[in-house]
Each structure stands twice: as structure tokens, then as C-alpha cells.
Structure 1
Amino acid sequence: MFMNCRRVRKWHFLQLVSMCCVMSILMVYWDHVDHHVVSHVKSYSYRYLINSYGFINKSLSVRPEEAARFGSFPYLLNNKDICKDKDVLLLLFVKSSPGNFKRRQAIRSTWGNESYISHKLGVIVKVVFAMGSDPGVLTNKLLQTKVHNENIINRDLVQQDFLDTFHNLTVKLLLQFRWTHENCAHAHFLMTADDDVFIHMPNLVRFLQDLRRQNVRNLWVGHVHKGAPPIRRRDSKYYMPSDMYQWSSYPDYTAGAGYVVSGDVAAKIYQAMLSLNASMHIDDVFMGICAIAADVSPQEHVYFSGEGKTPYHPCIYNKMITSHGHEDDIRYLWKVATDPQVEGISSGLVGKLYCTAVKMALLCKPYFTNTYSCMAAFT
């Protein structure tokens, strides 16, 4: 039985047209496809093939004198006695910028209220705001005066004389670990967080108290990124040029929005920083590189968020640790998340089943949200 030649030609024509359409779409959206598919495939393959990033540290190793210059900025504000003679459970560094007065005040009156933490939770948590200087030439002097007055009232600012910009976040990371080493090395835990992060302090304190009772060491916990690829698109905020980082995959690291390390890890990270090139501007990744030198691996906690904001629901509040992206609603979230009635919602068998179903509906979605994973629904 013979096929009709006209039908064959028509079929070939349709194939050609379809292929042209597909190629056109790929050409238009190639950057998107390359970033979200190809680069991630390459990155994961690279990560699991090499299984070690020690060679990166060797490549980035520098003499101590050269490493010191990355963080050797004079202090503009330095409250050195914040931790003096205190049994500090947690030293919590909040990465802020000089102009973010409202954010800092919102934190002081909610989850960062040290008086509330001491009286209600029975522990000492010291909240310190880390910042550089304002990059604006015209606004710098007036703004600095306001920051100085803020510090007179609150005594919780640590500021060095470097430009407070996105590309100096690694400098701010150096500031935190250096200051901790010099002024609060006895703290049981160190946390770093952004000033638009909400922290459920009662849940965090319970978590850390359990760890302290177990005398946990080598702890680095947060929202872990594994096998993340460097972004090579120049229009991206996170653009990483090949001459700064030439490899196809970053080492594992935790999202910089908020993570915790134990005191021994803080000391080891500081020592690692004394011999590494800190010119890399992505502080999360640089932390991952330092951790390799310190022989520390990040541990996933399902209730530390990434760059995403957690869904608002009492079943979430009962377990949440951090949530990112809260510029204007920290006071509201603090009120509803710490409401005494929250604990009762998930109590008992019926409550647990109800909350598991709610969290599955909120968290187990087929698209990427970069907040809590689906696993959080079952914990």
C-alpha cells in the first residue's frame, strides 16, 4: 500500500513549520531557559561529580596581610560592651543600612525586644545592627548624625566606614564575625539575618535551648542551597563574572536571609576568613567557601525560609523560625504569630491532622516559592 505523496509533503511541511516555531521560541527565551534549566543541570552534575570544593579554597587563599585589608575599616560606631559579663544564648546580627530607621525600630519593638526575650523567654539574646556608611555624598553627613543619635538611645549599632551597598555585603559579613571574635566570642550561638526578616523568637529560643542542652557543635543551620549555579547574565543583581568565580557550581550554602551557627563554628569561620580572598560580593556564597576551610557543612531546617515570604496561617506560626520579605508588616505578623491561641490549634490528634492538611495545601505546590519546603507539612 503506497502513501499519498501530497500527504507526505504536507506532513514534512508541518514538521518544518513546527520546528521553526520551536527554534524561534528558544532563541527568544534562551537566556531564561539557559539559566533555569541548562545552568542548573550543569551545576548539579558538577557538584555531584567532584563531591569536594577544596580546590576552590586553595585558589582563593591569600596571605594574611592581603586578607586583612578586606575587612580593615575603622569603626564609626562600636558598642563593645554589649555582651560583657553576660551569658549570651544568641548574638543576633541584623544586616541593616543607615537609612532603614523604621525597620530597626520595628524589630526592637517586636521579635528583637531584648526585655521581652529576657522576661518572657528567660534567656539573653543580644540584637546588634551591622551597617556601613551611606553611599550618598549629599545625604551622608545628615544621615550619619541621625544614626549617631539613634545609637545614643539604643546602644545596639555597629558601623564601619565602608560604603553600605549590595556589592559590599561580604564586607558586612566580615564585620560580623570579626566583631563577634573580639567582643562576644562566648555567645553559644551566632545568627545573621536581614532587616526585612521576621524571626519567631519563642520558637527560635526553644530550638536553640534544646541544642545547648545537647551541647551541639559544628552547627550551621538554615535554608540550604545545594548545587546552585553562578548567574552569568549581566543584567542580574547576582551576576558573577567568570574571572571572579570560574567554576560551574557554588559550594553548598545557606540563604543569607537568616541562618545560625554554633559558637565553635563562628570561631572557625573567623579563622578561615583570615586567609581567603573576600572580593566576592555574594556573602552567602563566601560563607559557603569559608565553611569548606572550616570543615563545616550546612544543615537544612524546613522552617528557615529562603528569599520567599511564608504563608500566613496559625498552623505555620506554630513551627516557623524565619520568614523573609517583611518590610512593613513585622508588627502585624508578630502579633498574630505569637498569639497564645496559636498553640491550641495544632494540639491533639484532630489539630495535628488539620494542620498537616493545611500545610500541605499551602506548601506542597508544583512551583518554586523558595520559602518552606513541602517537607515542613509533615514536621
Structure 2
Amino acid sequence: MWRTKVMVAMVIASSLALVLFYSSLNLEEVHRRKAFVEAANTVLVVPARRNATLHATLHATLQAMTTGHPQTTSRSPQQKEATGISILISTKFIQDVPKSSAYWNRRQHALLKLLESGSSGNATENKILGWPDCGTTSLERLVTNIQDFGTYPPLYQVFLQGMECRDPPILIDQPGKCTSDEWDGKTFLLLAIKSIPQNFERRQAVRKTWGREGRYEGGVVVRTIFLLGRSPPEDPDLGALVSFEALHYRDILQWDFRESFYNLTLKDNAFMSWAARSCPGVAFIFKGDDDVFANTPAILAFLHSLDPTKAAGLYTGHVVTNASPFRDAKSKYYVPVSFYEGAYPAYAGGGGFLFSGSLIRPLLTLSRFIPFFPIDDVYTAMCFKALGITPVAHSGFQTFDIREEDRQNACVHRALILVHQRSPQQMLRLWRDMHSPLLTC
């Protein structure tokens, strides 16, 4: 009887020990996941020169996040907008912004000084930075800070009055675009295409050719979204037609800001905010115009060929180097001396470029500390440079087009990723010929 009691006691003690052991393992895993999630959702913007080791550590964390699938907690839209991956502004970016009396330069150095003081990154960040909403910056403030403001072209003045807008109201949303049950709710490549309300014919050509959604070779999923503002007041109101199109195709995003060349930066920023919220797991993003002809199978083949360790920092396209502002007021790329001084960073042409989806949140968070610039691809490059990423040139991107004698040649286009520009009719013909079983190259 005594031996039986001892045996029972030993069994009970052993069982309790095993329960405690496995409970400790589970608890450790819970704490590890919690620490990972808290680190991933903390905004910490620190000048890179203060801590180079931290810079490397945070980038390592970013790469780790692209290969893992951390669990995230539910947050309100306001909380989601205020969170992000910890990032730093690169020393190279800071050094290359000239100190000048130009309005943009002064604004940028004021924000850098704000970061140095450590007074940002809290609940009152928007108030500190002067970005409470999408209201219009007062003309008095602009005239006071830019003495020749009255000589700026009208659309430039409109851009400056809305330069502090960071979160324009959305008119048409597609919240389930990347997370729907269709195709297992996963998106490998998101085609984000800049368009304007009246360009239905171009959008339709893209849908029927290189922007076709679905599961491609290798089982990867490609989805398409078109990015629109609203028509200028002097144009016909196409709101009802755009709403019908969005309902039918479920691929339209539209925001409540005026369409103009100088508002493309605002459109890009609005898209990044949407993607961070509605497409958080996308692997890669192609951002381009609705008049380019892209070779989607070639894009996917290139992405599949990437070294996984390099894919997390991807930013590639037709790279322009050693560029400077146009000072001719007749050019749409005009940048007044009183607005900006300095050279441009190397940038991938805005007609079409690729980048890693894991960079969306770092770029979005960091962009709040870089004043908007009226040339969208230059501004994008500024944000990448501040993140410490330089664009990598890819010969398959031909944003300035190819030889005239090759522009109708389907075999030539098979070897390219992107050309600019093509009409809807040319898109349809090229796509048909490129995929014809009769084509011999």
C-alpha cells in the first residue's frame, strides 16, 4: 500500500512537472511574439549619425519581417496610421540637402531639426508637423515665405497651397482588394497604376492585357488597382461613370483632390497609406502610368530570380542620375529657384518601377518628415534615399521608349519589362502578337 502511494505521488509530480515545462515554453513563445509585434509597431525616427549600429539592427529587423508572418493586434485606423517599423533617416540624405533660403530646403531642415530635438513621434505628431488635415495653406504664409510666389504658374500655386495635405478623403475604396478569399487572399504583385477619370479607354486596355488579374505561372497572384483623383472643376463631371466602373471592376481607388501633374506626389502618398492599411502582406509593387506597356510575365520572372536577401530592399527601374531641376517656367517639370535648390537624387522614372512591399510602411512613416515635392518620381527617390536605399538600374525598363523601327515588333517587346508610351490600340495588338503561338522570334 505504501509503495502504491509513492508511485501515485511520483506520477502526479512528474505530470505537474511536464505541464509546467510546456507551459513555460508556450509562455516564452507568447512573450517572444509580443515583443516582436511591439517592436514592429513602434515608430522611432532617429538621425542615423547618432547610432549606426541601431540603423543596421533595424534594417535586419525589417528583413526578418519580410520572411516571417508575425501576428498583429487589432487597431483603429488612427492607431494604424500612427504606427510603423522603426526607421532612421540616412546621413547621406541629410548631408545632401543644401542649406538654402529656398522654401523646400528651409522646410526640410526645420523637420530635421525637429527630429534632432526628439519632440516628434508621439500622439501630437500631426500638430507639431503642421499637418492636421488637408486644409489649404494660407496664401499669406506662402507669400511671406516665398517672395516671388505671385510669379509661380497657377497649378504650382495650387500645389503649394495643398502641400501639407497627407491624408486626403477617399471617395472610392477597395478595402478587400488584397485580402479577399479569391486566390487564397494572397497577393504577390500589386500593379498600382496612375490614371485620371477620363482615361477609361486606357484602363480597359490595361485590364485586357498586362494588367489582367489572376493566378500566374508558379501559382503567384497578381492584382491591379487604378489610382485616381477627381476631375478639375473646368472638366466634365465623370463621377457617376467612375463610380459605376469601380463597382463593376472593383479596381478603382479615388481620392478627393484635384487631378494635376503636381498632385501626383499626393496621389502616391495616398496610395502608400492605403496599401499599408489594406494590402499589408503584398510581396512586390509595380507603380506606373496607364499609358505604359508592361510585360507582366517578364516582371514575374525577374522577381522570381531575385536573391531573397536582396528582395527586401528592391527599388528598380529606368534610373536617372545626375539630374537637376528644370528652371524653364514653360516646362511642366519647372522648379523655381526660390522653391528648391540642389541636385536630384538618382531616381527610377515614374513611368514604371518596382519595389518591395515590405518597404511600404517605412517609406510612409519616413515621408512625413520630407516635404512634398512637385515631381513625384523625384520625391519617391528622396524617400528611398532617406531610407538608405539607392535605385538599381534594369535595362528592361525603357521609360524613354525604344528605337522607332522596333516599336511594333512583338519579339523586341518580349525581352523588355516596360516601354513608354503606347496607345490602347497598340497595347492590345502587341499583347496579342506577343502571346500568339504563331510568333517566331
The match for 2:94 among 46, 49, 54 is 54
| Matching of residues 221-260 of structure 1 within 5 Å | 221-247=316-342, 249-260=343-354
Q: Distance between the aligned counterparts of 1:243 and 1:130, measured in 2? A: 31
Q: Distance between the aligned counterparts of 1:121 and 1:332, measured in 2? A: 26
Aligned to 1:322: 418
Q: Distance between the aligned counterparts of 1:184 and 1:212, measured in 2? A: 23
Aligned to 1:139: 236
Q: State the Cα deviation string for residues 11-36 of structure 1 (Å, max 9, x = none).
A: xxxxxxxxxxxxxxxxxxxxxxxxxx
Contact 1:193 1:259 in 2 (8 A): yes
Aligned to 1:371: none
Amino-acid identity (%)? 30
Contact 1:131 1:160 in 2 (8 A): yes
Contact 1:88 1:188 in 2 (8 A): yes
Q: Distance between the aligned counterparts of 2:273 and 2:96, measured in 1? A: 23
Aligned to 2:360: 266
Q: Distance between the aligned counterparts of 1:81 and 1:107, measured in 2? A: 21
SS at match of 1:160: strand
| Matching of residues 89-104 of structure 1 within 5 Å | 89-104=188-203
Q: Distance between the aligned counterparts of 1:138 and 1:113, measured in 2? A: 29
Q: State the Cα deviation string for residues 59-113 of structure 1 (Å, max 9, x = none).
A: 4263752357422210000111100152211111000001101001111111111
Q: Distance between the aligned counterparts of 1:177 and 1:79, measured in 2? A: 14
| Matching of residues 288-303 of structure 1 within 5 Å | 288-303=381-396
Q: Give the 3 Å change call, closer, same or farther, for CA 212–185 of structure 1 in structure 2.
A: farther
Amino acid of the structure 2 residue aligned with 1:168: N
| Matching of residues 1-379 of structure 1 within 5 Å | 52-56=92-96, 59=105, 60=108, 62=111, 64-65=125-126, 66=130, 69-84=164-179, 86-115=185-214, 118=215, 122-137=219-234, 139-140=236-237, 143-211=238-306, 216-247=311-342, 249-278=343-372, 280-309=373-402, 311-312=406-407, 313-328=409-424, 329-340=426-437, 345=441
Q: Distance between the aligned counterparts of 1:228 and 1:158, measured in 2? A: 32
- Measured after TM superposition, the shift of residue 315 of structure 1 is 4.1
SS at match of 1:229: coil
- Measured after TM superposition, the shift of residue 167 of structure 1 is 1.3
Amino acid of the structure 2 residue aligned with 1:233: D
Q: Give the 3 Å change call, closer, same or farther, for CA 220–341 of structure 1 in structure 2.
A: farther
Contact 1:129 1:158 in 2 (8 A): yes
- Measured after TM superposition, the shift of residue 265 of structure 1 is 2.4
SS at match of 2:240: helix
CA RMSD of aligned residues (A): 2.2
Aligned to 1:367: none
- Measured after TM superposition, the shift of residue 179 of structure 1 is 1.1
Q: Distance between the aligned counterparts of 1:309 and 1:102, measured in 2? A: 24
- Measured after TM superposition, the shift of residue 339 of structure 1 is 2.9
Q: State the Cα deviation string for residues 97-149 of structure 1 (Å, max 9, x = none).
A: 0110100111111111114xx15563211100001000034622xx0010001
Q: Which runs of 5+ in 1 are unaligned?
A: 1-50, 346-379
Give the paired residue count. 288
Q: State the Cα deviation string for residues 34-54 of structure 1 (Å, max 9, x = none).
A: xxxxxxxxxxxxxxxxx9442
Q: Which runs of 5+ in 2 are unaligned?
A: 1-90, 99-104, 115-124, 133-163
Contact 1:222 1:304 in 2 (8 A): yes
